[in-house]
Amino acid sequence: MALISAFGLGTGFVLTQFALQWMPPRLGAAYSIPASTALFWCMAPFSIDFTRFDTGAAMLFACVGVLFPGTVAVLNFESNRLMGPNIAASVGGLTPVFAVCFALVVIGETLRLESALGIAAITTGVTLMARAKKRAAAPWPLWMLVLPIAAACIRGAVQPIIKLGLARWPDPIAAVVIGYTVSSSVLIMAALIGKANVNHRSDRAGISWWVAVGLCNGLSVLCMYAALGHGSIILVAPLVSTYPLITLLFSAALLHRERLVLQTAAGVIATVAGIVLILISK
């Protein structure tokens, strides 16, 4: 489930490049997140076990929804627009560093040597890929790194909170329904208050692209929550963070922007080695 989540997240980064041609990130998020929310509400009557409803868990899921996925989506979309999908995805691959730190403090999970080495290898791999892509891309100021790093920090912080909620109410569908509903409300209100203008190209095609992005990201989050319900954060977070590999492959195939250089190859090898180490540790 964690690797499926990585696949969906990596695909979403590439589709965002197409969606950005039609409308800006803040307005696009107001379409993409509610699209996933609608899908999850359609699934809810058939999937959620309401007999196990837990108020505390529901409050945790709602608190997560204030920042994730809404705020993270806007940060990712904006960094994608400014730096491109490959760099934004690679820097976002630092999520397991934050997730594991929060897991050690909040939940008290134990970090084994193999897992630590695996996380280090994955972090090194995505850093190498990001450095290679920055050299090949148009120059951009270093302050822009704040956007994907902030998104990675939030994404890492919410994982132990979701883990705590799922321990009380083990239902990933309920978690995404509540969290996405809160995020959708925040994004729609922000779009209305800000009076965001839709440019002349914001037609059905543009909305369709943003809906596709939302569904990819939404299903990715659902799979991540399902994985967190059965596995430790130290296992799940690093595996989900391998999504830059998917972004790399799809960027080369669909955007024709990726050129394989030595640093990129080394980053791929390090990332795959990190995955192997983490799986061996379990």
| Structure confidence at residue 194 as a pLDDT band (50, 70, 90) | low
For residue 69, whether the previous peptide bond is cis, meaning omega lies within 30 degrees of 0, is yes
C-beta separation of 11 from 250 below 8 A: yes
| Average predicted confidence (pLDDT) for the chain | 84
**At 173, phi and psi to the nearest 5?**
-65, -45
End-to-end CA distance of the chain: 15
pLDDT at 257: 58
* Single-letter residue type at 246: I
Pick the more confident residue, 32 or 116.
Answer: 32
Number of domains making up the chain: 1
Torsion of CA 235, 182, 143, 271, to 10 degrees: 20
Two tokens at 57?
Answer: 């868990």
HSE (side-chain half, CA atoms, 13 Å) at 195: 0
38-74 as b/e: b if 16+ CB within 10 A: bbbeeebeeebeeeeebeebbebbbbbbebbbbbbbb
User: Which of 166-175, 229-238, 239-248 has maximum average pLDDT?
Assistant: 166-175
C-beta separation of 252 from 14 below 8 A: no
Phi-psi region of 9 (alpha: psi -120 to 50; beta: other; left: phi over 0): alpha
What span, in angstroms and rounded, lies between the C-alpha atoms of 6 and 271?
Answer: 13
Residue 38 has pLDDT above 80, yes or no: yes
Arithmetic mean of pLDDT, 61-74: 91
pLDDT at 196: 47
What's this model's pTM, rounded to 2 decimal places? 0.84
Note down the domain range covering 189.
2-281
- Name which of 91, 61, 100, 77 is nearest 28 in CA terms: 77
> Which residues lie closer than 8 Å to 213 by C-beta, 6 or more apart?
12, 15, 16, 19, 28, 32
| Structure confidence at residue 213 as a pLDDT band (50, 70, 90) | very high
- Name which of 16, 117, 120 is nearest 72 in CA terms: 16
What span, in angstroms and rounded, lies between the C-alpha atoms of 126 and 87?
Answer: 9
- Name which of 243, 267, 276, 262 is nearest 148 in CA terms: 243
What span, in angstroms and rounded, lies between the C-alpha atoms of 93 and 34?
Answer: 25
In Å, the largest CA–CA distance within the chain is 55
C-beta separation of 33 from 180 below 8 A: yes
What span, in angstroms and rounded, lies between the C-alpha atoms of 76 and 9?
Answer: 11
